[in-house]
Structure 1
């Protein structure tokens, strides 16, 4: 139960609903006991009336006596019906309080988890899979809600009904109470073990279904590859194997479920037989009336579901505790990327990096080693290097996705750690190498970083990114809806929409992280020429493995294995005849030979 203590703050928050639910449970259980007593009185009344009816009938007063007797029986019937309706009304109120409370807690808990996810650093997402994050905010929260709703509701009902009914049964007939309740502990233990089997097999089914869903998703996402390699039959065969596994596990669960209700009915039947037998012996001995047997049979049936639910509730609590422990594990994760002073000021764009070193905490790979450079306000920096040289790491550190191991980053001569993180990131336009577009309209994707959509600004950003014509050629233009991860667009179009999104927010610092890799050299030149105007009086960083992307930069650094090999402008680096010049010549010759082959 310890992991579930964390939920006490929510129970306290909705204590009004919880207390009302407890009150309604007490009242509804009172209306459960009264009908049983009325049944006993009615049966005893009918039995006793029969002894009076025969003499009265012989004396010629049979019709009048029958009417009186039937009148009282109707009154008993009406009273029992009223009690049942009142109980139903209060059961409705119980669900309107406790179950609604659980839904509100579920809403609050999901929001708490999602908000916490949003505030965790990038390193957290490198360590944990998306599927696991999703499972904790959906499956695990649903299991916790089952504890807060049905488990608490039935648990409270058991705690109130059990002592209420048993104490009354003992007051009526202690011996009959003992015999009639003998099978109930066996019933509870049996249900507990059957529930454990059901849960165990349900878990296996969930895992099997998850694997099946993942396989189907990958098959549909990679349908082009499947068709290209003619693997449709193999894929269908693998799916058939996975489906067979799911079918077998589902049948095994059905077999266990088949035991559930027969087991309950058998033990209730045994309890009823014992009650009738022992009660009948006492009636013969003149110790009790017929009505007591009927009353006790009703009580046994009343207690059957609460006792049955004991095993079920215990199982729910176990699963909820395990799920809450998983949720707590992520909620206890701390964000170590914090602002020291929360400075919220407009930046000019002067960037100074001194002896910057960084090692990725999850992999232990050293990405940067004592890197230093400076970018003046409104200047452009080009960062060139091969894959894994540390180019993208610099972008991540500038936006404080990570903090460096040593060295410092200054913006406008202020340590980057002093700035408010949200304010800093709001003033940086970032175009990632791995483009991500949302399943929304193209216009909304471009306006993603804006406080409010501005059609002129969106259109101008699209023109500057050389994607305007592509967008207006679509039947719905900027209102065209994109598929998952922007699948509606080509690779080059997605990158240009991503560039437009960064430009639209009119950032003080613009970071282009190898964002032109999916476009050809001609389109790259068009975009770079359009960006020239955008980058004027704006600090820009162009990260690329292509020399052509960075040759127009005011200052260029060449990275290799996290170290700066060369730095300077394009002309000075070409004159040096070093790594940059060699890379430039290779790429130029490659482009020329490609153009010749096309001719």
Structure 2
């Protein structure tokens, strides 16, 4: 239950729903208890009337007694019907308060988790798979809602009903009440024992569900590769095995849950036997009437469903606790990507890297090691190197996806001092792995850029050499892209990503190997357009192609996270080092192709 304490703030926020729900539960149960007393009075009336009726047998008064009896009994029946209707009305009000409250809490909790996901650093997403994240915001939140909704409603109803019923039972016969409640301690022990098993197996089920979600998400995302390599059967078998394990774990939980209902029914049946046996003796001794016994049996049956619901309610609470514990693991996660001073001063674009060293926390791989570089505002720098040399690491550090050792400065101000979202808005970033949203081409270009005219959108697309392609689509800019931009080719996706970055008119432009999927001709067109765009912007061109570096004011060559060469294109060519070798190799490759 400790994990569920996180929900107390929401229960406090919606306290009036809870208070009104409790009041309506009390009123509803009062209307449920009163018919038992009416039944007692009616049965006692029947017995007393029959006794008087037969006592006056043959007398003229006998017909009057009969007529009065026929008039009174329908009145009792009408009262019972009225009580049932009023109970139903207030039960409806209970659901309109407590269940509605649970939907509000579900809404707030999902938003809290989603907001937390967005503020967590990249390190977190490298350590957790997408299926697990989805399971916690959907399946786990659903389990929690069952706790603050139906489970809480039945729990309140149980407490209220027990207090009211036992109070009325004690007022009639303390002795009979004692025998009726005698089996309840045994039920408590059984519940305590079974709950620990339920908790453990619920956690196992949720963990397996996360695995299933991950497998399904990975299959759908990689469906092209799966079909190309004809691995449909392999992945179907893999999912079937996971689903079979989920089924086995669920059936184990069902077996434990199924113990509650037979156990409760046996104990309730035992209570009925005790009521009839002990109550019969009390009638013989003249201390109770037949109406009292009927009243007790009604009270006992009224408690049957709530007591049976103890098992279901407890199971839901335990499942919710297991789910909330999984949710709390994420909500308690701290992000180190925070602003120290929340500066939002104007950015000109000067970049400074001072003894920057970065080691990926999940793998221990050194991305950059003692990296030093100065890039003046409006200057362009090309970062070259082979795969794994640290180029993309540098891009991630500029947009502050990670915090390295050493210091990165923008306009001689530490990057950590800027308000995180503000400094990122000053950067146009084209990632190596392009991600496009399932939306129109126009909205993908406008993404994160605020208010733009259609002319600005078209100009950005023209600069990325994608305009003619878009015009060839039947719906033009309103063409809807599939998941992750699957409608477009690799080169088209890269060019759309470039358009999305430059349309923002950023102070700093970071191109992370953003021309790798386009041909040489298209690359030259885009680079010529970018040379005009980059005139007043600080540009970091990350590439493995030497041709992409020619436009830069300076060139830096990386190897294993360290700078091995730097200078202009001419100076590095004259030096005849690593850059010269890369240039010659790629030149020969282009000639052969």
Measured against the shorter chain, the TM-score band is over 0.9
Structure 2 contact 358–368 (Cα < 8 Å) conserved: yes
- After alignment, is 531-540 or 217-226 more displaced? 217-226
**What TM-score results when the alignment is normalised by the length of structure 1?**
0.92
Residues 242/136 of structure 1: CA separation in 2 closer, same or farther (3 Å cut): closer
Match of 2:301 in 1: 301
**Displacement of 1:308:** 2.5
| Correspondence 1:463 to 2:466 | no
Match of 1:494 in 2: 493
| Correspondence 1:447 to 2:446 | yes
Match of 2:179 in 1: 179
Match of 1:311 in 2: 311
Structure 1 segment 295-444 matched on structure 2, within 5 A? 295-406=295-406, 408-444=407-443
Post-superposition Cα deviations, 1:189-245, rounded to whole Å, max 9, x if no partner, equal 556666766666666555555555544554454444444444445555555555555
- After alignment, is 545-554 or 53-62 more displaced? 53-62
Residues 412/236 of structure 1: CA separation in 2 closer, same or farther (3 Å cut): closer
**Displacement of 1:358:** 2.2
- After alignment, is 129-138 or 417-426 more displaced? 129-138
Post-superposition Cα deviations, 1:478-501, rounded to whole Å, max 9, x if no partner, equal 122222111121111111111111
**Structure 2 gap ranges (5+):** none
Post-superposition Cα deviations, 1:78-117, rounded to whole Å, max 9, x if no partner, equal 1112222222222222222222222222222222222222
SS state of the match for residue 417, structure 1?
Answer: helix
| Correspondence 1:534 to 2:533 | yes
Q: Give distance in 1, aligned partners of 2:352 and 2:240.
A: 59
- After alignment, is 377-386 or 57-66 more displaced? 57-66
Match of 1:481 in 2: 480
Match of 2:34 in 1: 34
Supply the RMSD in Å over aligned alpha carbons: 2.6
| Correspondence 1:20 to 2:27 | no
Q: Give distance in 2, aligned partners of 1:554 and 1:264.
A: 81
Q: Give distance in 2, aligned partners of 1:244 and 1:117.
A: 30
Q: Give distance in 2, aligned partners of 1:309 and 1:181.
A: 17
Structure 2 contact 438–484 (Cα < 8 Å) conserved: yes
Q: Give distance in 2, aligned partners of 1:314 and 1:503.
A: 56
Structure 1 segment 76-475 matched on structure 2, within 5 A? 76-190=76-190, 211-212=211-212, 214-238=214-238, 241-242=241-242, 244-245=244-245, 261-406=261-406, 408-475=407-474
Q: Give distance in 1, aligned partners of 2:117 and 2:220.
A: 29
Structure 1 contact 21–98 (Cα < 8 Å) conserved: yes
**Displacement of 1:250:** 5.8
Q: Give distance in 1, aligned partners of 2:343 and 2:216.
A: 48
Structure 1 contact 380–553 (Cα < 8 Å) conserved: yes
Residues 7/232 of structure 1: CA separation in 2 closer, same or farther (3 Å cut): closer
- After alignment, is 249-258 or 162-171 more displaced? 249-258
Structure 2 contact 131–215 (Cα < 8 Å) conserved: no
SS state of the match for residue 447, structure 2?
Answer: helix
Structure 1 contact 169–177 (Cα < 8 Å) conserved: yes
Post-superposition Cα deviations, 1:412-464, rounded to whole Å, max 9, x if no partner, equal 23232332222211111000001111111111111102213432211111111
Match of 1:597 in 2: none
Q: How many residues align?
A: 593
Structure 1 contact 151–316 (Cα < 8 Å) conserved: yes
Match of 2:45 in 1: 45
**Displacement of 1:560:** 0.7
SS state of the match for residue 20, structure 1?
Answer: helix
Post-superposition Cα deviations, 1:345-388, rounded to whole Å, max 9, x if no partner, equal 32222222232222223333222222222222222110001122
SS state of the match for residue 559, structure 1?
Answer: strand
**Displacement of 1:147:** 2.5
**What TM-score results when the alignment is normalised by the length of structure 2?**
0.92
**Displacement of 1:410:** 2.5
